[in-house]
A = this chain, B = another copy of it.
Amino acid sequence: MPLEEDIKQDKFHNDHQKAAINILYTGSWLYNINAGFLKKFDITPEQFNVLRILRGSFPKPMMLAEITERMIDKSSNCTRLVEKLRQKALVNRFTCVNNRRQVDISITDKGQQLLKRIDASQVTWLDAMGKISKVEARELNRILDKLRYE
């Protein structure tokens, strides 16, 4: 391989590759902070995420495919994850009357209350994120959004 091409590619590689690994690494770091924080509430990050999604749609129920589409980790098994939430009475789960293939999921009162309690303790989140300024947080959002832009 010609040297100049090698160097060029190498340099291009390094900043971008470092950024990729940085995102993965920081994502995992943050995930663990979040998981530890949520443990007090006996809920996993993905369960928390699904509850927030359902609150966003409330009072309109959502079907599994819609939830999956919005999940952070789309490959989690939504059927079983929702079943866990149902066992804790945090969501309702009814076969849809109009289309018996689909199930309508919605957050319960108990689920709403849990989210409120969690929101109230979100100070911990800010502890983790507080090391960067508001301007930096915005810049970070801008770049990450651009990165995922189709």
Which chain A residues in 123-150 approach chain B with CB under 8 Å? Answer: 125-126, 128-132, 134, 136-141, 143-150
Does any Cβ of B come within 8 Å of A70's Cβ?
yes
Main secondary structure of the interface of A (DSSP, over half): helix
Most buried by B among A6, A28, A138: A28
Complex interface: chain B residues within 8 A of A79 (CB): none
With a CB–CB cut-off of 8 A, which chain B residues contact A74?
A: 28, 32
Is residue A42 within 8 Å, beta carbon to beta carbon, of the partner chain? Answer: no
Kindly state the separation between the CA atoms of A99 and B140 in the bound complex, as whole angstroms.
45
Query: In the complex, A82→B25 CA distance in Å?
Result: 19
Judging by beta carbons under 8 Å apart, are A24 and B15 in contact?
A: no
Contact of A30 with B by CB under 8 A: yes
Task: Count residues on chain A whose CB falls below 8 Å from chain B CBs.
Answer: 62
Looking at the assembled complex, report how far the CB atom of A54 sits from the nearest CB atom of chain B, in whole angstroms. Answer: 11
Answer yes or no: A7 CB below 8 A from chain B CBs.
yes
**Chain B neighbourhood of A10, CB < 8 A:** 56
Determine whether the beta carbon of A125 is less than 8 Å from that of B16: yes
Given contacts A7-B53, A7-B70, contact A1 B145 (CB under 8 A): yes
For the complex with contacts A12-B126, A19-B129, A29-B148, 10 further pairs of A-B residues with Cβ separation under 8 Å are A1-B149, A7-B70, A8-B56, A9-B56, A9-B70, A17-B129, A20-B129, A24-B27, A131-B149, A132-B146
